Copies of this chain bind each other. A is one copy, B any other.
Amino acid sequence: MTNLSKYFQLNILLLFMALIVFSCKEQSIPKIIKSDSSQHPKLILTKKGVEEIRANLGTVPIFDKTLKAVKEEIDAEIALGIDTPIPKDYSGGYTHVRHKRNMVVLQKAGVLYQILDDEKYAKYVKDMLMQYEAMYKTLPLHPKTRSYARGKLFWQCLNDSNWLVYVSQAYDCIYDYLSEEERNQLETNLFRPFADHISINSPQFYQRVHNHSTWGNAAVGMIGLVMDDQELIDRALYGIKDLKLDAKEKDDDGGFLNKDGKAGFLANIEEPFSPDGYYNEGPYYQRYAMYPFLIFAEGLHNVKPELKIFEYKDSVLLKSINALLNLSDADGEFFPLNDGQKGMSYYTSALVTAVDISYHFGTQAPGLLSIATEQGSVLLDDSGLAVALGIKNKKAVPFEKKSINLSDGSKGKQGGVAILRNEDIELVFKYASQGSSHGHYDKLSYSLYEDGDEVLQDYGLSRFVNIEQKGGGNYLKENKTWAKQTIAHNTVTQNETSHFNGKYEIGSQHHSVLNYFSSDNEVVQVASAIERNAYSGTELLRTMAVIKDENLEKPYVLDIMKVISDKVNKYDFPYYFFGQVIQTNFEYKTPKTLSALGDKNGYQHLFVEGRANAVSGNSKLTWLNNRNFYTLTSITNGNDELFFTRIGANDPEFNLRRDPALMLRRDNSQNTLFVSTIESHGSYSPVTESAVNSKSSIVELKVVLDTDMYTAIEITLANNKKTLFITANLLSSQKHSVKINGKDYLWTGNYYFK
């Protein structure tokens, strides 16, 4: 109901906005006037920007609405009084939550002071900063010892850095309100030592290419920009001068501390982003990292325009925002690749920042305005004003998400992520590099969505972020024993062992390789990629297509996984569906007692709920979820086994979700082919109690050719119509000719479909 209500309010708002706009003449966006960087504010708000904002107050609905909400929020905080408790707790505990809240409150109060010109906000910021100053000058390391880099206000330097990124903005806003003496006091006892602690005193945190370091760099750089301290600015941009770390040391998450010696903000832009803007840890961490990237970039743009930070590396910061928005489902929720918490979406405040900055400092793409409208708020700065004016002036158009291929690697040469989209079906195919310390061992895995709902899931992470009762809100041990393991993903596991043996050192040296990506044809979207290193001596080639056949109600997925190995192996191939088993064409037995499928590599977490011999031909499973029917059809042989599994074995603290899967096992096989289709079909309504189109329309899948060069699958539909999909397994020429059952097929391109 809550979501519906929000949606309702938003709709009404949109409608009223539309009505208002109808009655107003279009106004042009005022040109942004360049600020003088010797004046404050200059970092995010600018002197001239503030003047424009004040001039527009009361006439730009979404800006005014955001301002009103922030004012109410901060007035309530001011009424509660200031609390800067002695640090004590992990994430979720009181002191952690309070200091985290304080940093946001300070930043917002600073902005209110500038926009509303009301000294009560400046005084509040000053008073709280002085309390921090009094505490910080004698503050020891945080008492909790779990982090590889302990902070002072928080248990980890990461949170301290978050704090400084926000608080430097607040300081900038009240800079002129303070006396020189007060500024000296704050800079000497609080800001400078604070910046030193998270950098010079914590090089294992600061001197890296890692999202943690990006926060550190931004924190040091932003306070440096406000204080006009070139040493801090340089330290932010280029890392700690003349410092080299041991390249083999690792952090808490198992990531290398500093493999190749690179450090600083520019290196942090250079390394993790591909030329397409894909961030190597995946969208969940990109979302987290975007705020320091963009807010520091905005500050650099304002104070050091000569750096042309938004044009750096072919404008990769702006491209990354587009990539990130494309890495979300129909509801705006990010695909939980690698360590990603489900439910995080472009409604998060970091994405308000991203969208507004992308619009203002980019090409004013009107699709961004529709997302800003959905977000319902804007930044209270120049970029937010630009967005608010764009919306007011009816420039918004829908943000269209299409099939897209995003390369991974700083040069775009380390695999990537392909998203295939057709109507409501979205398939996310991962053939990327390891994804830094947050990567999972899931080469060539995929997940499937329909209209924003998961059909075949990626488990995501095993963590309850900021829920203190669950391991302090930090990563749970099941993240390593389950979530990162290959068997937790919709890809192939060989001999019950994860890719790269689950070893980060090995995984981080490799990446999959694109075979081809094709999205030109509206009815057939295909991505195909090869993995040669996950298992020594085994090559995996997976080709995934989303096909719209007019004989079927909705687009369906065709999945061809070709395995070539130098020895005989056992292959496990799970499908993590959700919901209720409706029908199978194979006979399964359910055991009286449930035991784990294995004892390591994630298998120890899977209970076996059912077991069957596969059908010689096609094995089929139909299930019901979210009031839709789904059918998996898979080519199997009589020696294959099928397992119904459920996550939850060896989970002594109920950290895992009890989610089901069907797993196909093919033992004693060397070279082999896994071929399947997944259809979404029909619907069930508990209100009308009618089941519509509840049966699969695919009668048979058949391999009609499988060579090194080509794999051809014949798909027979319920109306007896046959279609043929041929994929080219080797990237050679674009012209192909092949004889199948006496008939010649000639085509140009990577695949044939008719």
Q: Which residues of A contact B (CB under 8 A)?
A: 1-4, 7-8, 11-12, 15, 92, 97, 330-331, 341-345, 347-349, 451-453, 464-470, 473, 580-583, 589-590, 592-596, 607, 609-610, 622, 624, 644, 646, 648-654, 657-658, 660, 684, 686-691, 694-695
Contact = CB atoms under 8 A, between A and B. Distances in A.
B687 A344 contact: yes
Contacts of A451: 1-2
A469 B657 contact: no
B344 A686 contact: yes
A593 B590 contact: no
A603 to B, nearest CB: 14
B691 A92 contact: yes
6 A-B pairs with least C-beta separation:
A343-B686, A581-B654, A594-B594, A469-B583, A593-B595, A465-B689
Given A343-B686, A349-B688, A687-B344, A452 B582 contact: no
Nearest to A659: B658
Given A341-B689, A466-B691, 5 more contacts: A97-B690, A341-B686, A469-B622, A592-B596, A593-B596
A349 B684 CA distance: 16
A469 B681 CA distance: 15
B688 A609 contact: no
Given A654-B581, A694-B468, A687 B345 contact: yes
Contacts of A466: 689-691
Contacts of A649: 592
A592 B649 CA distance: 7
Given A4-B3, A11-B12, A594-B607, A582 B686 contact: no
A287 B654 CA distance: 39
Contacts of A97: 690
A372 B81 CA distance: 49
Contacts of A658: 646, 658, 660
Given A347-B687, A590-B651, A687-B344, A694 B330 contact: no
19 contacts: A1-B331, A1-B452, A3-B4, A4-B7, A7-B8, A8-B11, A11-B12, A342-B686, A344-B686, A466-B690, A467-B691, A468-B691, A469-B695, A581-B653, A592-B595, A609-B648, A609-B654, A646-B658, A658-B660
A687 B331 CA distance: 12
A470 B15 CA distance: 45
A670 B341 CA distance: 49
A468 B682 CA distance: 14
A590 B688 contact: no
Q: Which of A331, A592, A624 has the most CB of B within 10 A?
A: A592
A582 B654 CA distance: 8
B467 A582 contact: yes
Contacts of A2: 451
Nearest to A348: B687
A580 B1 contact: no
Contacts of A343: 686-687
Contacts of A581: 653-654
Contacts of A473: 691
Contacts of A4: 3-4, 7
B654 A348 contact: no
A61 B8 CA distance: 21
Nearest to A695: B469
Nearest to A101: B690
Nearest to A589: B652
Nearest to A657: B580
A594 B596 CA distance: 9
Contact of A594 (B15, B593, B652): B593
Contacts of A7: 4, 7-8
B468 A689 contact: no
Nearest to A467: B691
Q: Which of A349, A465, A650, A691 has the most CB of B within 10 A?
A: A691
Contact of A467 (B15, B342, B594, B624): B624
